[in-house]
Structure 1
Amino acid sequence: MRRFPINVLKPLGWLTLGLGIGCGGALVLQQWSSTSASVSKAPVERQRRPEAALTTELLLAGEPAMGSNDATLTIVEFSDFECSYCRRFHEQVLPSLKRTYIDTGHVRFIHKDLPLPFHRQAMPAAAAARCAGEQNRYWDLYGALFDQQTCLECKGVVAIAESINLDTSVLRACMRREATQTLIRSNLSEAELHNIRATPTFVIGPSRHDGTHHGNVVEGAMPWPQFKALIDQQLQAQKDR
Structure 2
Amino acid sequence: MSMSPTETEAPETPSVPTRRKSGMTGETKFMIAALLVIALGGGAMFALNQMTNPPPVADAPPAPAVPVTAKLVDDLFAKARHQKGEVNATLTFVEFADFECPSCRTAYKDSIAKMEKAIPSFRLGFMHLPLPMHERAIPAAVAAEAAAKQGKFWEMYAVLFDAKSEGLNEKELVAAATSLGLDMPRFAADRKNEKPFRDMIDADMKVATENRVDSTPTFFIHDKAGNTATLSGAGNLSRLFPDLKDGVLGNDKIDPLPEPGNGVPITMYLNGKREER
TM-score, structure 2 length as denominator?
Answer: 0.61
Equivalent position to 2:178, from 138, 162, 166: 162
Residue 181 of structure 1 is aligned with which of 173, 195, 198?
198
Shift of 1:153: 2.6
Q: Secondary structure at the match of 1:152?
A: coil
- Gap regions ≥5 residues in structure 1: 34-38, 40-44, 208-212
22 and 191 in structure 1: CA distance in 2 versus 1, 3 angstrom threshold: farther
Aligned residues: 216
Alpha-carbon separation, structure 1, partners of 2:128 and 2:229: 18
Give the corresponding residue for 1:74. Answer: 92
Letter in structure 2 aligned against 1:202: F
Task: Look up the match of 1:226.
Answer: 239
| Residue 137 (structure 1) aligned to one of 152, 162, 167 | 152
Shift of the 72–165 alpha-carbon distance from structure 1 to 2, 3 Å rule, reads same
- RMSD (Å) for aligned C-alpha atoms: 4.3
Structure with max Cα Rg: 2
2:125 to 105, 110, 133: 110
User: 1:64 — aligned with what?
Assistant: 82
Contact residue 51 and residue 195 of structure 1 kept, 8 A: no
- Alpha-carbon shift at residue 206 of structure 1 (Å): 4.0
> What TM-score results when the alignment is normalised by the length of structure 1?
0.69
Using the aligned pairs only, state the percent identity.
26
Residue in structure 1 matching 2:218, options 193, 197, 201: 201
Q: CA deviation at 1:62?
A: 5.6
1:93 and 2:111 are equivalent in the alignment: yes
Query: Any idea what SS the aligned residue of 2:147 has?
Result: helix
Contact persistence 2:107–2:234 (CA under 8 A): yes
Aligned CA distance change for structure 1 residues 49 and 113 (closer, same or farther; 3 Å): farther
Unaligned runs of 5+ in 2: 28-52, 54-58, 251-269, 272-277
| C-alpha separation in 2, matches of 1:133 and 1:220 | 26
Task: Answer whether contact 2:219 2:232 (CA < 8 A) is retained.
Answer: yes
Specify which of 101, 121, 130 is matched with residue 136 of structure 2.
121
Shift of 1:21: 7.0
CA–CA distance in 2 between the matches of 1:216 and 1:94?
A: 16
* In structure 2, distance between residues paired with 1:126 and 1:20: 22
Q: Secondary structure at the match of 2:95?
A: strand
**How far apart, CA to CA, are the structure 2 residues paired with 1:76 and 1:184?**
15
Structure 2: distance between partners of 1:172 and 1:185:
21
